[in-house]
């Protein structure tokens, strides 16, 4: 049997089909022989008409035959966009709950490529739309994840690396239509599993969110909760972080969308931070988002578990954004608010070497340079500035 199995790898496509007819036990080896050589051989019999699958089943192969290494034929056909073969296998009783390559179930395999017609077909055959894989992904979360990556990579650096999409050209694909089909068949837009920490909205927010506005809009339209929490008790708004390298100004449109659908602008995560706390992390370009949150009545003096207000965070850095700080102060931020360790925004501005114009602005709004933080030697901003500049006479704010 071994020498026959090895010989299969030297056969042409039509010869392989002949071998399958006479040696049913070789169908798995023969099939993967063709898969491994798909760039060198003409696979018309496999990729267009499904003849090889018909021959396999005629030779005695089971439609739901499965192995740990090769996975199921249904998952592979779904992942490669062969709708005719998927229907053929389903008509012959193929199971839809086997996991194939990369631990994908057939539905997730089709959804990850955006093959919405195949997804629709399997749902018509009764597959559980909310069934998750071993990795915890549902078809909906897998679609959202792959949509963000594809939307980003279909232009720019991805194409610059010379990579190509391996898709079946005759099979229509659309991640948006795939999501819509899944939601129409009852996919839970708020589902979270033990192994996947993010529900669908959060998945969109962490996978190129500036390209996922249509995703967020669709999920909200199908009843997604704009205040749903993930594994660390973060709401979707908490994930719009201006300090992240993937941040894009277009994320402000998603923030507006969430707020218009009832997102709580003062929701707190496990660290007690509200969305405006996260925007105000120093060095971030958060002016537009700050304005949006303030327009929706964000609490400008909300303190996190360490007692820090948004103003504390906004001033704490050498590249602090003075326009953001001015917005906070004009909206009533307490310039002398103390964190749990006694530090005021001025303490942090001096300690983290904020620009002089930031310190000047704090003084203009009444910052107390003699406020003690109650730590150790009870430092005041004045003492800290003396250490920083060497002589109080040289301070431009005296």
pLDDT at site 207: 87
For residue 202, is it within any domain?
no
Instruction: Write down the pLDDT at residue 4.
Output: 40
Comparison of pLDDT for 61 and 34, the residue scoring more: 61
- Asked if residue 74 and residue 54 are part of one domain, the reply reads no
Q: How far is CA 245 from the centre of its chain?
A: 14
Last residue of a domain, one of 157, 187, 217: 187
Buried residues in 92-128 as b, exposed as e (16+ CB within 10 A): eebbbebbbeeebbbbbbbbbbbbbbbbbbbbeeebe
pLDDT number for residue 362? 97
* Total number of domains constituting the chain: 3
| Whole-structure pTM value | 0.81
Residues 45 and 72 placed together within one structural domain of the fold: no
Please name which of 286, 237, 240, 288 lies closest in space to residue 262, comparing C-alpha atoms.
237
Per-residue pLDDT tens over the stretch 1-48: 433 443 444 445 455 555 555 555 544 544 555 444 444 333 333 433
- Give 208's pLDDT tier (boundaries 50, 70, 90): confident
User: What percentage of the chain carries pLDDT values higher than 90?
Assistant: 46
Residues 44 and 18 in one domain: yes
Question: If you average pLDDT over every residue of the chain, what do you get?
Answer: 80
The pLDDT tens digits of the residues spanning 112-144 come to 999 999 999 999 999 999 988 777 789 999 999
Q: For position 388, which CATH number holds? A: 1.25.40.20
72 and 19 part of one domain = no
Residue 81 belongs to some domain of the structure: yes
Residue 136 lies in a domain: yes
- Of 103-117, 159-173, 267-281, the range with the lowest mean pLDDT is 159-173
Lowest mean pLDDT among 33-47, 140-154, 328-342: 33-47
Parent domain of 317: 265-398
Does residue 376 lie within any of the structural domains?
yes
In a domain, 132, yes or no: yes
192 within domain boundaries: no
Residues 21 and 104 placed together within one structural domain of the fold = no
Examine the domain organization and report whether 181 and 278 are in the same domain: no
Q: Please say if the pLDDT value at position 277 is more than 60.
A: yes
129 and 181 belong to one structural domain? yes
| Same domain (yes/no): 82, 161 | yes
**Whether 303 and 336 share a structural domain:** yes
User: Do residues 77 and 49 share a domain?
Assistant: no
- Out of 35, 61, 87, a domain closes at 61
Whether 380 maps to a domain, the answer reads yes
DSSP 78-116: HHTT-HHHHHHHHHTT--S----GGG--HHHHHHHTT-H
For helices 116-124 and 83-91, the axis angle rounded to 10 degrees is 10
Q: Are residues 43 and 72 in the same domain?
A: no
pLDDT at residue 236 tops 70: yes
Q: Which residues pair with 66 in a beta bridge?
A: 72
Specify whether 356 is located in the same domain as 377.
yes
Mean pLDDT over 252-278 rounds to: 96
At which of 165, 187, 209 does a domain end?
187
Q: Which long-range contacts (CB under 8 A, 24 or more apart) does 296-300 make?
A: 296/259, 296/265, 297/265, 297/266, 298/265, 298/266, 298/274, 299/266, 299/274, 300/276, 300/328, 300/331, 300/332, 300/333
Does residue 235 form part of some domain?
no
């Amino acid at each position: 049997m071994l020498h026959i199995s090895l010989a299969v790898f030297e056969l042409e496509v039509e010869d392989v089909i002949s071998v399958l007819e006479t040696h049913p036990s070789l169908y798995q080896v023969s099939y993967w022989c063709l898969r491994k050589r798909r760039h060198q051989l003409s696979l018309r019999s496999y990729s267009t008409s499904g003849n090889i699958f018909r021959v396999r089943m005629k030779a005695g192969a089971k439609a739901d035959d499965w192995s740990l290494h090769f996975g199921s034929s249904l998952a592979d056909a779904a992942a490669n966009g062969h709708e005719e073969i998927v229907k053929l296998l389903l008509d012959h009783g193929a199971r839809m709950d086997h996991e194939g390559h990369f631990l994908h179930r057939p539905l997730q395999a089709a959804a990850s490529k955006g093959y919405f017609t195949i997804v629709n077909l399997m749902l018509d055959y009764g597959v559980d739309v909310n069934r998750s894989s071993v990795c915890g992904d549902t078809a909906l979360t897998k679609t959202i994840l792959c949509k963000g990556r594809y939307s980003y990579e279909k232009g720019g650096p991805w194409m610059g690396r010379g990579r190509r999409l391996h898709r079946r050209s005759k099979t229509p694909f659309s991640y948006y239509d795939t999501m819509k089909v899944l939601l129409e068949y009852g996919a839970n837009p708020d589902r979270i599993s033990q192994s996947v920490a993010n529900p669908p909205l959060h998945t969109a927010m962490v996978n190129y969110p500036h390209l996922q506005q249509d995703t967020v809009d669709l999920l909200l339209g199908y009843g997604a909760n704009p205040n749903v929490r993930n594994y660390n008790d973060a709401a979707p708004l908490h994930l719009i972080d201006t300090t992240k390298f993937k941040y894009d100004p277009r994320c402000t449109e998603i923030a507006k969308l969430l707020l218009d659908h009832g997102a709580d602008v003062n929701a707190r995560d496990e660290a007690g931070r509200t969305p405006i706390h996260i925007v105000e992390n120093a060095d971030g370009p958060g002016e537009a988002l700050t304005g949006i949150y303030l327009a929706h009545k964000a609490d400008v003096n909300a303190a996190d578990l360490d007692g820090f207000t948004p103003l504390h965070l906004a001033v704490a850095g050498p590249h602090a954004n003075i326009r953001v700080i001015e917005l906070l102060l004009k909206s009533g931020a307490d310039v002398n608010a103390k964190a749990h360790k006694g530090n005021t925004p001025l303490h942090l501005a001096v300690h983290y070497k904020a620009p002089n114009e930031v310190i000047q602005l704090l003084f203009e709004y009444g910052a107390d340079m003699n406020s003690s933080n109650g730590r150790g030697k009870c430092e005041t901003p004045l003492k800290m500035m003396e250490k920083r500049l060497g002589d109080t006479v040289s301070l431009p704010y005296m």
